[in-house]
Structure formats: structure tokens, C-alpha cells
Amino acid sequence: MTTDYKHKLEEEKAVLMGELAGLGNRDPKSHEWEVTAENTEGETADPNSNADRFEDFEEKSALITPLEAKLSQVEAALARIEDGTFGKCRVCHGPIEEARLQANPAAETCIAHLEA
């Protein structure tokens, strides 16, 4: 059973890493994702082009944050599989409902503690 969740989480991690790689690079020291700047070498300073680049940067930055958060949740769930705590609520330490894990294998809490 846990191997099914591990497989789902590894697939989700690969998808998230691909999406993030399309938006930026991961800093090898901090492991945080940073937006890749567009190469502007040889271009003149056109205000419209600068505005477009800034808008593109802002859009990518807005996308990276939730993807990075989801990746962190997936990586934490994979770590819980490895340490034997997967499927246990971090609040009450009881089992997380199967339906909840099916919907979100990275879930950290049971339904009762969803907002905790």
C-alpha cells in the first residue's frame, strides 16, 4: 500500500520538478527556486521590452511559490514513508483516512485536523 503512495508521490515530484525547471533554476546551496532571467545581451534598452521582461519575471515568480510549496510537501511525504510515519496525523498521531490519502498523498493530517 505504501509503495503505491510512494510511486504516486515520486511521479508528482517529477512533474513539479519539470514545471519548476521550466520557470527557473534551483539554487544548489539553498535549494530554493529562482526565476531564470531572460537573456538580454546585445539588446538596446527599450522601455516596452523591459516592461515585458519585468511582467514575465513577476508571472514566473508568482507560479514558482505555490509549486515550490507543493514540492516541499511531496518531499516531506516521501521522507515520512522512509521513516515509517506516513499515513499518521501529525496532530493526533492517528491514521489519516484512506480517502484523504487517495485525494492527496502528501496530506499530513487527518480530516479532523485539516485546518491544524
Domain residue limits, the chain: 2-26+47-113
Give the pLDDT confidence score for residue 46 in this predicted structure. Answer: 64
Cβ pair 100, 107 in contact under 8 A: yes
Cell numbers describing residue 49: 521590452
**Which pTM does this prediction carry?**
0.79
Q: 3-state class of 26 per DSSP?
A: strand
Confidence of residue 93 (pLDDT cuts 50, 70, 90): very high
| 47 pLDDT more than 70 | no
For 110, counting Cβ atoms within 10 Å of its Cβ (0-12 exposed, 13-18 middle, 19+ buried), the class is buried
| 56 pLDDT more than 70 | yes
Output the average pLDDT for the chain: 87
* Residue with the larger pLDDT of the pair 62 and 79: 79
- CATH 3.40.50.1000 at 2-26+47-113, yes or no: no
- Residue found under cell 520538478: 17
- How far is residue 94's CA from residue 64's CA, in Å, rounded to a whole number? 33
Cα 86 from chain centroid?
A: 18
Cβ pair 89, 110 in contact under 8 A: yes
Give the pLDDT confidence score for residue 41 in this predicted structure. Answer: 54
| 78 pLDDT more than 70 | yes
Give the pLDDT confidence score for residue 55 in this predicted structure. Answer: 78
